[in-house]
Amino acid sequence: MTRTLAVANQKGGVAKTTTVASLGVALRELGRRVLLVDLDPQACLTFSLGIDPEDLDVSIHQVLVREREPSDVCVCTDEGVDLLPATIELAAAEAALLTRTGREHAVRRALDGFAADYDWVLLDCPPSLGLLTVGALSAADEVLIPLQCETLSHRGVGQLLDTVHDVRQFTNPRLGVLGLLPTLYDGRTKHAKAVLDTISETYDLAVLGPPIPKTIRFAEAPALGRSILGTSTSHRGAAAYREVAAGLDRAAQPSP
Ligand code: ADP
Ligand code: MG
């Protein structure tokens, strides 16, 4: 059965894209069939997997506005995960969709049928609560919320949870919240530990683990067109993502 996970947080720089790429590759290593979907017009996920958006004639944009089928657009990446890539054109899709009825369902409709060939579909959301994020939440079984451990202010999470509530009410009643994933965690500082503690005290949500350590390797990987798992196999950041992926995958297996 396909599990569709939206990775969302309207704050930029919290490691949404890094999480999608790393969990995707880790799930692939576990032998799963994985589809990643770049729903951010900045196309960082596409770029970080070694595909230059400028070389693409078609992208998820054309699928969302019903000009192309996902199979026309899907690319295989070097790391074995499939990708529905984005280009800057995707910014126009949001505007084009705004006037259409059923616009919240555009992502779900785009994946309909096509996603069934995969065990996991991971949706990389843009840093906003606009139509593309709402579309992703409307298409997902669950949402995973990366949260950086650098600041004590996580007010944005409340807003995101309000959006989740609205999506449940209007478009996707079965949407679950998988939990929060602490990212950019520097375990050497008291501050980061304090932030981690407040996260679990503040929200009545699961906190997935282990926290993803903050290391310079993550900043280097995208420019190499590889995930952190592909650039440095034994790195502790890669190990953390592998552990999170193994936990997700175990939980997804039907109980005997
Ligand atoms: P978002 O998609 O939420 O905007 P990104 O995944 O693009 O966030 O990450 C933002 C920046 O932080 C990128 O430059 C990325 O390489 C870097 N980054 C992500 N995770 C880590 C980490 N664990 N340690 C250090 N840098 C990281
Ligand atoms: Mg991103």
How does pLDDT run across 205-222, given as a tens digit for each residue?
999 989 999 988 888 888
**For residue 41, is it within any domain?**
yes
With a 6 A CB cut-off, is 63 part of the ligand 1 pocket?
Answer: no
Which value does ipTM take for this structure? 0.99
With a 6 A CB cut-off, is 16 part of the ligand 1 pocket?
Answer: yes
The average pLDDT across 37-63 equals 96
For residue 152, what pLDDT band results from cuts at 50, 70 and 90?
A: low
> 152 or 92: which carries more pLDDT confidence?
92
pLDDT of residue 48: 94
Q: Residue 170 C-alpha to ligand 1 middle, in angstroms? A: 32
d(CA 215, CA 54): 29
- What strand order describes the sheet that includes 82-84? 75-76, 82-84, 34-38, 120-124, 3-7, 142-148, 176-183
Domain tally, the chain = 1
**For residue 62, is it within any domain?**
yes
Q: Residue 145 C-alpha to ligand 2 middle, in angstroms? A: 12
With a 6 A CB cut-off, is 18 part of the ligand 1 pocket?
Answer: yes
* Atom from ligand 1 closest to the CA of residue 184: 23
What's 177's domain CATH number?
Answer: 3.40.50.300
pLDDT of residue 47: 95
pLDDT of residue 171: 96
pLDDT of residue 99: 85
Give the residue, by CA position, lying nearest to ligand 1 atom 20: 15
- Residue 113 to residues 2, 95, 135: CA-CA distances in angstroms? 11, 25, 17
> 253 or 215: which carries more pLDDT confidence?
215
**For residue 154, is it within any domain?**
yes
Give the residue, by CA position, lying nearest to ligand 1 atom 27: 218
For residue 197, what pLDDT band results from cuts at 50, 70 and 90?
A: confident
Q: Inform me whether the pLDDT recorded for 204 exceeds 90.
A: no
For residue 153, what pLDDT band results from cuts at 50, 70 and 90?
A: low
Q: Residue 177 C-alpha to ligand 2 middle, in angstroms? A: 19
Q: Residue 254 C-alpha to ligand 2 middle, in angstroms? A: 31
With a 6 A CB cut-off, is 61 part of the ligand 1 pocket?
Answer: no
Radius of gyration of the chain (CA): 17
The average pLDDT across 159-186 equals 96
User: Domain span at residue 15?
Assistant: 3-251
> 226 or 125: which carries more pLDDT confidence?
125
**For residue 256, is it within any domain?**
no
